[in-house]
Amino acid sequence: MKNERLYILMACWALSVGVQLIFPPTLFFVQISIILVVLFIMTGFRTSFNFFILLTTILVYGFALTIYAFNQQIHDQGQYQYILAHVLLTISLLLSWLMIHDLNSLKQKLQELQVRLQLLEKYDAQTKALSLQEFKERGLLIETGMRRRGEKGQLLLFTMKKDIPLAVQASLRQEFIKACLQTVRSKFDLVTSPTEESVFIFLQGTDEMGRKIVINRIIKTMKENINFLSLPYHIEMYETENLKETLDSLLREREISL
């Protein structure tokens, strides 16, 4: 609806400007110059201030036309031309104000969509796990801090077992990632799921004991939500000082797109 209204406003604006061709060339040039200058100025301000510009221009121009008609001793029917000119200018400026308002609203919405898109690019929309690229970028920052503190990280790879029925794989993946996110430290550890079958967890500054605690908590959380005899994921564990190198190696082995 917003776009349709903008198109209608633009068509009406063009019509209001075109009608002014009925005036003598000098008056037409003055009218068009004022409209274009005001339109250009409005692009740099907000709607409320633009309305002030609109009113000021209309009043000043109307006053100027009145003085001009008085000085030139234009009376009776001669004044109708300038009255019509002022009316058309007012209409054109009002349409300009409405167009700029709609364009600013459209621009704001596009900016909001860009922010939301950037946010979605960092997370999987369904599982809320980090995207693979965001996982790697954050992991690099975390690893830099760990090196300064002389710490190592733990990279866990969970791979869904082959005997899991296809019908339950999607729901199982979501429940498993949810359990992982509930278990890890949200501000310190990272979770990503680059494929339907695999989930990576990077534990910051954690030893082997901490790694086992996280795995046990994930298993406990899964048992509370899903009935199973054994965890439906294979687990691989890696102590790493270089997350990117270890991660890239595992991704290449499994032909996961980087």
For 214-248, what is each residue's pLDDT tens digit? 999 988 888 888 877 788 899 998 888 778 788 88
**Which stretch of DSSP H or E encloses residue 206?**
none
pLDDT in tens, 112-139: 776 666 555 677 777 788 888 888 888 8
Tell which phi-psi region holds residue 192, choosing left (phi > 0), alpha (psi between -120 and 50) or beta. beta
Alpha carbons 216 and 210: distance in angstroms, whole number: 10
- Residue type at position 182: Q
Mean pLDDT calculated for residue range 132-158: 84
- 42-63 residue pLDDT tens: 988 888 898 999 999 999 998 8
Statement: residue 6 has pLDDT above 90: no
* Number of Cβ atoms within 10 Å of the Cβ of 202: 27
For residues 233 and 164, the answer to whether their CB atoms sit within 8 Å is no
* Gap between the Cα atoms of 16 and 19, Å rounded: 5
Count of helices and strands (H, E) across the chain: 8, 4
pLDDT score recorded for residue 119: 56
The span from the CA of 55 to the CA of 13, in Å, is 17
